[in-house]
Amino acid sequence: MNDMSRPNMNSSIQAIGHAINGRAVPGNSGRAQDVFNPATGAVSARVALANAAEVGTAVAAAQAAFPAWADTPPIRRARVMFKFLELLNQNKDKLAHMITAEHGKVFSDAQGEVSRGIDIVEFACGIPQLLKGDFTDQVSTGIDNWTLRQPLGVVAGITPFNFPVMVPMWMFPVAIAAGNCFILKPSPIDPSASLYMAELLKQAGLPDGVFNVVQGDKEAVDALLVHPDVKAVSFVGSTPIANYIYETGAHHGKRVQALGGAKNHMVVMPDADLEQAVDALIGAGYGSAGERCMAISVAVLVGNVADKLVPMLAARAKTLVVKNGVELDAEMGPIVTAAAHQRITGYINTGVQEGAELLVDGRGFTGQSAGAGCDQGFWMGGTLFDHVTPEMRIYKEEIFGPVLGCVRVKDLAEAVNLINAHEFGNGVSCFTRDGNVAREFSRRIQVGMVGINVPIPVPMAWHGFGGWKKSLFGDMHAYGEEGVRFYTKQKSIMQRWPESIGKGAEFVMPTAK
């Protein structure tokens, strides 16, 4: 990694600072926190936590860069994105290694995260087409009308620990390509990838100040939310924080899209291919240690399918390969932090107390079998509950860990009603061979992203990502064409020339003539 991500090389522990106006900037707030390798439990770095003054410096740099960048023709902005795309493809494994080292997810999963982020950059390269407006000739005698989309100004993204590359790329490629200047506030848990992306953007020819990274916690977030020059905020994280971001940002006159929590269900119908359903539940439930907003955490088993499927699930969960993510045969890595490990353990304890049947208990897994040096890591195995009921906390609340609960229902109608009654509506899946079941389920389910025999239905770059109910605060989804609309404002222009203007004042509402 280059100097952009190492503003202070004098300490034995790497000091991670900010990237402001094209330069590496060490933190000067006097506050910092440790960055851990979750597999070993060792401190790998210390990341600065910005104060309001440092956030203000980044906003000022972005504000100064905005006029020239907004005036840059979209095709030239797209060329910067094309170069960034080229550099990302050359360095995607380096980014994936950074993710594994600080987040803990297995390397192949980290590679997939980077690839899905790259998809959004490819989409953003089409910004000249995406910004095209509409034109109507002769809307009235001698008058033409057209629309155009213009950038907002300085916009910010506040992103979570679980996707330190992909989620920022849901935001900044589209925002920058549309002519905005961007400030990224990544999670302090895994901050390195954000600085490396800043360096690649600089190498791609992005002018200084157009993309800035400010490390930090709530103090930095609040500074962005109240700063008058920040025109829009994008957020991905838990529902309570999403609600806070939305209300605070909107109160201060900002456009806000805040993606919140989830409790994603997968319905398994009696006619489903059970081997495929088990594979889907294991991968979607335990992949990335369940630390995904699209993870399947509830299996809704219809009719007699439960008695066949649950033993298959339990057998597979017991053989889950839990290892250091750098091991190529690893299926699941460690939990991201000690605090998260403690929280997930508490949920498992609660599930037992509430009466759910614990079939596979991940609490006893230790790092001794995960690889050399992993004894002190944040390790947990996959956990499987059966006979979970809707009043249980492990059903109602987002656990964000490798815990899968099975709920038994009698038919499809009960499954749909169960899911529709939940406060979250992010993602859902249904495994069936019946086309009518698939159609009715897709139409009647009150969830924003639906998969039919697809366990994690994350939309592709040109479709857009977003849930319903308490999984999304705001009107527009992330990336895709809605992302372009979010980061731009429409202007309508009506034009006529003196030779076509009649004599005399008009005192009535203008109408087409």
Pick from 110, 216, 220: nearest CA to 162: 110
Measured in residues, the chain has a length of: 513
497's tokens: 């020339």
Task: Please list the residues that pair with 155 across neighbouring strands.
Answer: 182, 232
Max CA distance (Å), the chain = 90
DSSP symbol at 289: G
Q: Give the side-chain half-sphere CA count within 13 A for 118.
A: 21
Query: 173: alpha, beta or left, given left = phi > 0 and alpha = psi -120 to 50?
Result: alpha
Which tokens is 149 given? 């989309």
What does the CA dihedral 225, 256, 243, 197 come to, rounded to 10 degrees?
A: -70
End-to-end CA distance of the chain: 65
| 3-state DSSP assignment of residue 234 | strand
- Identify any residues that bridge with 165 across adjacent strands, giving them in sequence order: none
Three-state SS string across 334-390, please? CCCCHHHHHHHHHHHHHHHHHCCEEEECHHHCCHHHCCCCCCCCCCCCCEEEECCCC
CA distances from 432 to 304, 425, 447 (A): 14, 21, 18
Contact 318, 359 (CB under 8 A): no
293 catalytic per annotation: yes
Question: How many whole angstroms from its chain centre is CA 231?
Answer: 20
Q: How far is CA 399 from CA 10, 82, 222, 254, 353, in A?
A: 40, 39, 26, 31, 16
Contact status, residue 1 vs residue 302, Cβ threshold 8 Å? no
Whether 335 contacts 289, CB under 8 Å: yes
Question: Using CA atoms, how far apart are residues 19 and 32, in angstroms rounded to an integer?
Answer: 16
A 10 A CB-CB count for 60 gives: 17
Q: Are 255 and 486 in contact (CB under 8 A)?
A: yes
State the Cα–Cα distance between residues 474 and 257, nearest whole angstrom: 5
Among 181, 293, 374, 406, the active-site one is 293
What DSSP line would sit under 421-456, residue for residue? TSSEESEEEEE-S-HHHHHHHHHH---SEEEES-SS
Which residues are known to be catalytic? Answer: 293
